[in-house]
Amino acid sequence: MAEKITPRATNYADWYQDVVKEAGLAENSDVRGCMVIKPHGYAIWEKMQRALDRMFKDTGHVNAYFPLFIPRHFLEKEAEHVEGFAKECAVVTHHRLIAGPDGKGLVPDPASKLEEELVIRPTSETIIWNTYRNWVQSYRDLPILLNQWCNVVRWEMRTRLFLRTAEFLWQEGHTAHATQQEAEEEARRMLEVYRTFAEEWMAMPVLTGPKSEGQRFPGAVYTLCIEALMQDKRALQAGTSHFLGQNFAKVFGVQFQDREGKLELAWATSWGVSTRLVGGVIMTHGDDQGLVLPPRLAPLHVVIVPIFKKPEERTAVLQAAEQLAAAIRNVPLREWLNYEPVVVKVDDRDQYQPGFKFTEWEVKGVPIRVELGPKDLEKNACVLARRDRPGKAGKEMGVPLTGAAARIAELLKEIQAGLFEKARQFRDANSYEVNSWDEFKAKIDEPGGFLWAHWDGTRETEDRIAAETKATIRCIPFERKNEAGKCILTGSPSEGRVVFARAY
Amino acid sequence: MAEKITPRATNYADWYQDVVKEAGLAENSDVRGCMVIKPHGYAIWEKMQRALDRMFKDTGHVNAYFPLFIPRHFLEKEAEHVEGFAKECAVVTHHRLIAGPDGKGLVPDPASKLEEELVIRPTSETIIWNTYRNWVQSYRDLPILLNQWCNVVRWEMRTRLFLRTAEFLWQEGHTAHATQQEAEEEARRMLEVYRTFAEEWMAMPVLTGPKSEGQRFPGAVYTLCIEALMQDKRALQAGTSHFLGQNFAKVFGVQFQDREGKLELAWATSWGVSTRLVGGVIMTHGDDQGLVLPPRLAPLHVVIVPIFKKPEERTAVLQAAEQLAAAIRNVPLREWLNYEPVVVKVDDRDQYQPGFKFTEWEVKGVPIRVELGPKDLEKNACVLARRDRPGKAGKEMGVPLTGAAARIAELLKEIQAGLFEKARQFRDANSYEVNSWDEFKAKIDEPGGFLWAHWDGTRETEDRIAAETKATIRCIPFERKNEAGKCILTGSPSEGRVVFARAY
């Protein structure tokens, strides 16, 4: 299979598409811009959901579900919001199909035309805040800490599997608070949840901080984000957390009586991550052999490939393999794996040769492969192969069967930590402080990466830089040091560097 | 709160609506026919999802995700299918809104009119079988055992929370097989999964069997179902499993080479249950005080209500309550609860009196309440109150604190078994063999229930009975005995009784 995967150095976009295909993660559907998420891809998303959902619940949130449809006039209420989302949305206008005039095929029944069009939710602030109006009367009804797992639709013209699709799956948190401070703390808290998830589960280091005005969510006072660097040195916005102020409370009339009996508008946040994160995992860790999965998000942790020629060898080897599998399933990693078991598969398919199996599981990114044959059995040992270090470098020979499960438990943690460290080093090695406009223009093309540069803080400069270089401000990082400087484009004063990159 | 709930005997429909509202399960949204599933209702659905998902995976299925949109011409391909679903569907015709001609408000941009309309999936057979065409070449590619958790839309004119809504959440399994026998076994296997879930998790007894032709899924060769009886003696179809034959393989061209190299069409099943099941739980177990939840589906198992007057009592009581809560969380019910913990809440809210708290948790259906006050503490004891037996009958006084957690673990199992037994007795007490048309017409009104009657097997008779009595054939139960008889309406011969009822 590996020969079906274009090397990253040859063409990164082709490499990505090949990995998504060969690892069985997703494919384009016959519906414009919509993807089919295949079982292996969906299993990774399920792992992500479980981990995030637990983190949301541990921070006091509960799940709920709101309608797929947004009445047109809801969208019209918030000026920036409509500007941001009305341009690319799926509009429902009829509720029935009937036989066409030629007797063949179906057409929308004119009699079923809706009085008001419905838009498929591109995001749910409007319908949720319209509902909150009835839920909030007193400060005692606050905070509301809700999350929703669902599908959303944004009519994208140029799509790419997982990274940008017309329909995608996501979660959207929507909270309502009695005070500005509480809401801002919430927005920051959820950003921290996203950072923790990205770094500790996806093994993907991220920068955190507010977006500049030009990159803000339509309707937000400010947007916080996590930003990662992919292997082609382009940035991926991996999650956002918005402080919405009182904008939605105002247009949907969400008022409450505070402790003094005064009527106040509620304060809002919203925050979301999507199936785009699956693309982030692929692009952060994948190699020319295929997918590489961080163990905490792997649907399958260990595959045992039995090796034998004669039928009598088969029985002994399979028996030893099953014994080892049982031992691995019992290693004490439950908490680390979000209270789910270590998943082990003995690949006992007779119609395939071991080499074929090695390649298949390699392409699918399984963290550890165990090889077990008659010669290993004679020595009561096995071979362990790490997916994150292909070839001989990642092989441990002659590992005693009695200690193999324990060693695998250690290895899973080592791999998780190693992937993060490797990605962090890559990110840092591809981050530059640039101090002039010429340097900026040169570096953004080659080598690319995160360019830390001074900026005068104006929308105009931001737009000019984007127009000339296709680089955008990824965030104003919380991680930056205070440092006076001059804007690379205009020379106007700046308080600190912001991070530019070309982005997905 | 209980006084806000209409007694069942007064008006069952009002009772249902009141329970849904007062228990915080769901509410109607401002979008026609769509509901908002509130946190407590959604938490019950999450419990259902977890249990079902594990059962699906234990029977070899994996999850995937297919597009929300069905191109119009997909629907047109299967004649019965289009007949069944084109009449009530949401039709997307445009992909952009622009400012209206008067400058105010938004209208669909005529330039964004789609070449082909998209229908929001009412069910996904068409788009999934269109995809399977590319996945299936050889018998080695079969079986495909997929499931999808998603939202679907059927444009219903008369909706009722959970039971019938325009948008609802569900799972839909779609499998492809090399032989008819394998597919039929699969349809039966999944029916059995549904039966097990209904009875062992929802504590809701069900009849199982094929539907008559008149009640079949559009496009199926036959439909198997589980049917339950609600407390108002109306039937609820709670899940269906369809054998689709080769219908969808034929229209979407899903062919494979069998072991002999011959081209064959694949065999299909599909099966689904929905958020309707939440309605089933409410109507099977609820009482005039509100919701009653079977412990295996309860988001909250035990609430401890501390009772005190003086501040010094508060500290001691709360401390004992927390200790007890910790002990309850450790009871060995993990496997029984699908590897999730026993959830216990100490209701330490100072602004509410114990009586208010009792009522609130009662309405929400929490299986066990623990009362703990200074007098109990003196005796190192507490009071346990069972939700399924309101009032004194369900109280255990002076339960020693040292043994309370163990007793609660027992009680949770007792309650689960007791709810099932009570529902089974109710169902059986409201099932009648009827032997004449007059008896049928009399009994279907009063007392109602499941009427076991002979039927001549024709669609015509089925339709006439429905037209005259609003009773439909719920299923041809696997549970029936072979018994020759005469159709209650026509007198024609019959091989066994079928089950009639008025249904939701």
Residue B262 has pLDDT above 70, yes or no: yes
Residues B335 and B359 in one domain: yes
CA-based nearest distance A61→chain B, Å: 10
- Sign of the four-CA dihedral B494, B495, B497, B498: negative
What per-residue string of b and e applies to B225-249 under the rule 16 or more CB within 10 Å gives b? bbbbbbbbbbbbbbbbbbbbbbbbb
The three state secondary structure string of A35-60 is EEECHHHHHHHHHHHHHHHHHHHHCC
Q: Is A426 exposed, middle or buried (0-12, 13-18, 19+ CB in 10 A)?
A: middle
For residue range B4-28, what is the model confidence (pLDDT) as tens digits? Answer: 999 999 999 999 999 999 999 999 9
| Backbone torsion region of residue B60, taken as left when φ is above 0, otherwise alpha when ψ lies between -120 and 50, otherwise beta | left
Amino acid (1-letter code) at residue B31: V
Q: So what's the ipTM on this one?
A: 0.97
Q: Which of A38, A117, A120 is facing B108, going by the closest CB pair? A: A117
Residues B152 and B67 in one domain: yes
Amino acid (1-letter code) at residue A289: Q
Reading the block at residue B53, the tokens are 């998902």
pLDDT band at B101 (very low <50, low <70, confident <90, very high): confident
Contacts of B75 in chain A (CB under 8 A): 97, 106
CB contact under 8 A, A90 and B95: yes
Residue B486 has pLDDT above 70, yes or no: yes
Which run of H or of E encompasses A440? helix A437-445
Q: Tell me, what CATH number does B438's domain have?
A: 3.30.110.30
Integer Cα distance of B200 and B416 in angstroms: 8
pTM: 0.97
Q: Which of A68, A71, A127 is facing B151, going by the closest CB pair? A: A68
Integer Cα distance of A270 and B389 in angstroms: 42
Residue B2 has pLDDT above 70, yes or no: no
For residue range A94-141, what is the model confidence (pLDDT) as tens digits? Answer: 999 999 888 778 999 999 999 999 999 999 999 999 999 999 999 999
Least CA distance to B165: which residue of chain A? Answer: A67
Residues A278 and A168 in one domain: yes
pLDDT band at B1 (very low <50, low <70, confident <90, very high): very low
Question: What share of chain A has pLDDT > 90, as a percent?
Answer: 91
Tell me if B91 is assigned to some domain.
Answer: no
Which run of H or of E encompasses A344? strand A344-346
CB contact under 8 A, B70 and A31: yes
Tell me if A233 is assigned to some domain.
Answer: yes
Contacts of A57 in chain B (CB under 8 A): none
CB contact under 8 A, A38 and B90: no
8 Å CB contact between A296 and A435: no
Q: Count how many pairs of residues, chain A against chain B, have C-beta atoms within 8 Å.
A: 185
Tell me if B77 is assigned to some domain.
Answer: no
pLDDT band at B433 (very low <50, low <70, confident <90, very high): very high
The CA-based dihedral angle spanning residues A177, A183, A186, A190, taken in that order and rounded to the nearest 10 degrees: 110
Residue B317 phi, psi dihedral angles, 5° rounding:
-65, -45
- Provide the domain limits for residue B177: 2-71+123-285
For residue range A296-334, what is the model confidence (pLDDT) as tens digits? Answer: 999 999 999 999 988 889 999 999 999 999 999 999 998
Q: Which of B21, B46, B106 to mutate to test the interface with A (most CBs of A within 10 A)?
A: B106
CA terminus-to-terminus distance, chain B? 27
In order, the DSSP letters of B340-352 are -PPPEEE---TTS
Amino acid (1-letter code) at residue B418: G
Supply the DSSP symbol for A160: B
CB contact under 8 A, B64 and A86: no
For residue range A144-200, what is the model confidence (pLDDT) as tens digits? Answer: 999 999 999 999 888 999 999 999 999 999 999 999 999 999 999 999 999 999 999
Residues A179 and A270 in one domain: yes
pLDDT band at A1 (very low <50, low <70, confident <90, very high): very low
Mean pLDDT of all residues in A81-95: 90
Mean pLDDT of all residues in A206-221: 94
Tell me if B324 is assigned to some domain.
Answer: yes
Reading the block at residue A355, the tokens are 């080499």
Residues A53 and A151 in one domain: yes
Integer Cα distance of B367 and B302 in angstroms: 6
Q: Tell me, what CATH number does B395's domain have?
A: 3.40.50.800
Mean pLDDT of all residues in B247-270: 97
Residues A372 and A271 in one domain: no
Q: How many domains does chain B have?
A: 3
Mean pLDDT of all residues in A426-441: 97
Strands B113-120 and B91-94: antiparallel
CB contact under 8 A, B151 and A153: no
Residues A306 and A400 in one domain: yes
Neighbours of B64 (CB within 10 A): 22
Tell me if A484 is assigned to some domain.
Answer: yes
For chain B, what is the largest distance between any 2 Cα atoms, rounded to a whole number of angstroms? 84
Residues A148 and A262 in one domain: yes
Residues B258 and B186 in one domain: yes
Amino acid (1-letter code) at residue A484: A
Contacts of A88 in chain B (CB under 8 A): 95-96
Residue A470 has pLDDT above 60, yes or no: yes
